A and B are shown apart, each in its own frame.
Chain A
Amino acid sequence: MIVADRKSLEEILAMVADNKKILILGCKGCVTVCNVGGLKEVEILTSSLKIARKKLGKPLDIDIQVLERQCDNEYVAELSESVNDYDGVISMACGVGPQFLSEMYKTQVFYPAVNTTFFGGATQHGVWEERCAGCGTCGIHMFGGLCPIARCAKSLLHGPCGGSSEGICEVNADTECIWDSIVKKKMEAGQLEDLMGVKGLKDWTTARDGGPRRSIREELVQGKI
């Protein structure tokens, strides 16, 4: 799923400093699962903002709503009647949500309340880790099912670099060296030869480097299914 972190209260306060009435809009998708932008977090942000603004002597009127998904026009359309009742709208969805909103409601302002960070999952309660960088050409089967593009700080296809130490990445003492795991897995499986040889240069056209990407499923476009 897409993982995000909430922005600080100060940042959000600054965004809506001139607003008197706002909507805080949650999303039931990924951000609910990673506990950053679902109903519970919408409620927490609402009360924090209210308290802070009251203290400033500038009370803030806040409505709340949680859409099924903010990355789907069908649900975004649910706001059509009410969206212009507000001075601004805070979206707690990943970066996709406020863009779908901005595209549909051109005169309203949508503030991102979260920083979208990566594609990953929870490795323990309260801890999420990156697993994929969306490079557009998945080849993890060549690396023991572990992605060096997303998980090696240098995206090496022939690691580990000279900074790998005791399974830890040179960049950060809290980060595992994924190449250490790839190599150990391959060695244990007796498949070292898979790592030998020089892999062809990666074709980055399918990644962000090729420009904004688009997926077209013809049969759906044509309404066949």
Chain B
Amino acid sequence: MSELKSGSNLEKVLTAGHFAFTGECGPPKGANTKHLLGKFKYLKGNVDCVNLTDNQTAVVRMSSLAASSLMVGQGLEPNFQMVCRDRNRLAMMSDILGAHALGVRNMLCLSGDHQSFGNHPQAKNVHDIDSMQLIAMVKKMRDEGKFMNGDDIDVPPEMFIGAACNPFADPYEYRVYRLANKIEAGADFIQTQCIFNMEKFRDFMKKTVDMGLHEKSYILAGVTPMKNAGMANFMKKFVPGMDIPDELINRLKGVEKKDQAEEGIKFALEQVEEFKAMEGVAGVHMMAIEWEHRVPEIAKRAGMLPRPVV
């Protein structure tokens, strides 16, 4: 992993051996760029790159590519998310080229939440290809300079290729193999689903390290600070593939309502501390959902500042 594939800041931070710290930002439910640029301010300088979600939970929002481009304009580095639900291979390849043209250098390849979760459940889904194939497709475009039909690309897109991994989905025993497959397909870095069950994640990382996967790809541990016990309960009940131990819910409930946010942040900070020392973990992906304004404080308290300049 010596020669740079994309030249993105995230890639440089990771290859230089720094512990990465990435953020997340949901584009607005509208064309409100003012609001979006406002959120960027909280992230600038506090994270190495920012995931721009792609119609997350299948709710229509400003396009992740457009938001990524706006972010480039503000001097922050985007991680352009792309789901397989809404685009066929033509649209995907064309958006990947467009992303490169707009200065985007990181991509996260995802299947996408099913449209039934979102605000247009009547929509037809695409799923022409899946996330595994999307990873391989971006790699082929980048490394071979070819479209999927084998035609040459005139200036191939340079992308640092990311993939997601959810160690908490089932069947558990298979999850590490699926991760291995994504890395084999071409994932340069991995961002995990939000981790709350630390015990399970420790076990998962042990398996990952045993298979040597951490040496083939950079694994960033996903952290979401809970705002209150209600949020934890909601996620446990309604977000598929989430593993939220009762212990955490009880811990949040154990303090007064006004102090629950602080308790949530404390738990997140404890997690970050553990991840810093955990073998195979190359960084943290901080998903402070609709809480961007708390990121500066979280980054500071997590000892993540200043971010390395490479």
**Is B169 in contact with A165, judged by CB distance below 8 angstroms?**
yes
Shortest distance between the CB of B147 and any CB in chain A (Å): 11
| Mask: chain A, 142-183; 1 = CB below 8 Å from B; 0 = not | 000000000001111111111111110011100001001001
Of B85, B164, B178, which contacts A154 at CB under 8 A? B85
Whether the Cβ atoms of A201 and B177 lie closer than 8 Å is no
Are A198 and B181 in touch, CB under 8 angstroms? Answer: yes
Binds A, one of B7-15, B124-132, B291-299: B124-132
Instruction: Give the A-B contact count at a CB cut-off of 8 A.
Output: 101
Please classify how large the interface on chain B is, using the bins under 10, 10 to 19, 20 to 34, 35 or more. Answer: 35 or more
Please classify the interface of chain A as helix (H, G, I), strand (E, B), loop, or mixed, using the class held by over half of its residues. loop
Report whether B169 and A154 are in contact in the complex, using a CB–CB cutoff of 8 Å.
no
How many whole Å from B34's CB to the nearest CB in chain A? 33
Which residue of the partner chain, among A155, A177, A180, A198, contacts B132 with CB atoms under 8 Å?
A198
Beta-carbon contacts under 8 Å, B125-178 to A:
125, 127-133, 135-137, 148, 164-166, 169-171, 173-174, 177-178
The verdict on A140 contacting chain B, using a C-beta distance below 8 Å, is no
Question: Cβ of B130 and Cβ of A184 under 8 Å apart?
Answer: no
Q: Whole-angstrom distance from the CB of B308 to the nearest CB of chain A?
A: 30
CB pair A170–B133 under 8 Å, yes or no, is no
Minimum CB–CB distance from B162 to chain A (whole Å) comes to: 14
Does A204 touch B at the CB level, under 8 Å?
Answer: yes
Q: Are A196 and B181 in contact (CB under 8 A)?
A: yes
Q: Is B87 an interface residue (CB 8 A)?
A: no
A126 at the interface (CB under 8 A from B): no
CB-CB contacts below 8 Å: B111-133 with A: 111-114, 116-117, 125, 127-133
> In the complex, which residues of chain A have a beta carbon less than 8 angstroms from the beta carbon of B212?
none
Tell whether B262 is near chain A: CB-to-CB under 8 Å: no
A160 to B241, CA, bound (A): 11
**Contact, CB under 8 Å: B133 / A157:** yes
A197 at interface by CB-CB < 8 Å: yes
| Minimum distance in angstroms from A134 CB to a CB of chain B | 16
Determine the distance from Cα of A165 to Cα of B185 in the docked complex, in whole angstroms. Answer: 24
Evaluate contact between B133 and A154: CB separation under 8 angstroms.
no
- Flag whether A1 is at the interface (Cβ < 8 A): no
Q: Kindly state the separation between the CA atoms of A20 and B173 in the bound complex, as whole angstroms.
A: 64
B178 and A201: CB pair below 8 A?
no
| Other-chain contact of B174, A153, A165, A187, A202 (Cβ < 8 Å) | A187
Q: Which of A164, A183, A196 contacts B241 (CB 8 A)?
A: A164
How far is the CB of A137 from the nearest CB of chain B, in Å?
14
Residue of A whose beta carbon sits closest to that of B129: A201
Q: Kindly list chain B residues whose C-beta atoms are within 8 Å of the C-beta of A183.
A: 171, 174
CA A170 – CA B117 in complex, angstroms?
A: 9
Cβ < 8 Å to B, chain A residues 171-225: 171-172, 177, 180, 183-184, 187, 192, 195-199, 201-202, 204
Contact with A along B294-307 (1 / 0, CB 8 A): 00000000000000
B114 lies within 8 A of A180 (CB): no
Q: How far is the CA of A161 from the CA of B171 in the complex (A)?
A: 10
Q: Does B84 contact A (CB under 8 A)?
A: yes
| Residues of the B chain whose Cβ atoms lie less than 8 Å from the Cβ of A159 | 130
Shortest C-beta distance, A187 to chain B (Å), equals: 7
Q: Give the Cβ gap from B94 to chain A, nearest Cβ, in Å.
A: 16
Q: Which residue of B lies closest to A162 (CB)?
A: B166
Cβ–Cβ contact B181 & A166, under 8 A: no
Q: In the complex where A153-B114, A171-B116, A196-B181 touch, is A158 in contact with B132 (Cβ < 8 A)?
A: yes
Contact of A170 among B89, B114, B173 (CB under 8 A): B114
- Extra pairs beyond A161-B169, A180-B171 (10, CB < 8 Å): A154-B111, A154-B112, A157-B132, A158-B133, A160-B169, A166-B170, A170-B240, A195-B177, A201-B133, A201-B148
Docked pose: A197 CA to B186 CA in angstroms? 11
Instruction: Return the chain A residue nearest B185 by Cβ.
Output: A198
When A170-B114, A198-B185, A201-B89 are in contact, do A160 and B177 touch as well, CB less than 8 Å?
A: no
A180, B128: Cβ atoms under 8 Å?
no
Contact: A154 with B127, CB < 8 Å?
yes
Cβ proximity bits B30-49 to A, threshold 8 Å, 1 near / 0 not: 00000000000000000000
Which of the residues B128, B173, B181 comes within 8 Å of A158, measured between beta carbons? B181
> Would you give the shortest CB distance from B231 to chain A, in whole angstroms?
19
Is B193's beta carbon under 8 Å from chain A?
yes
- Considering the chains assembled together, what is the distance between the CA atoms of A201 and B185 in angstroms? 13
| A184 touching B178, Cβ below 8 Å | no
Q: List CB contacts (< 8 Å) of B275-303 with chain A.
A: none
- Contact in complex: A154, B114 (CB < 8 Å): yes
Shortest Cβ gap from B146 to chain A (Å): 13
A95 and B278 alpha carbons, distance in the complex (Å): 59
Contacts of B148 in A (CB 8 A): 201
Shortest C-beta distance, A35 to chain B (Å), equals 28
Q: Cβ of B170: which chain A residues have Cβ within 8 Å of it? A: 160, 164-167, 177, 180
Collect the chain B residues with CB atoms within 8 Å of residue A196's CB.
177, 180-181, 184
Q: Are A156 and B173 in contact (CB under 8 A)?
A: no
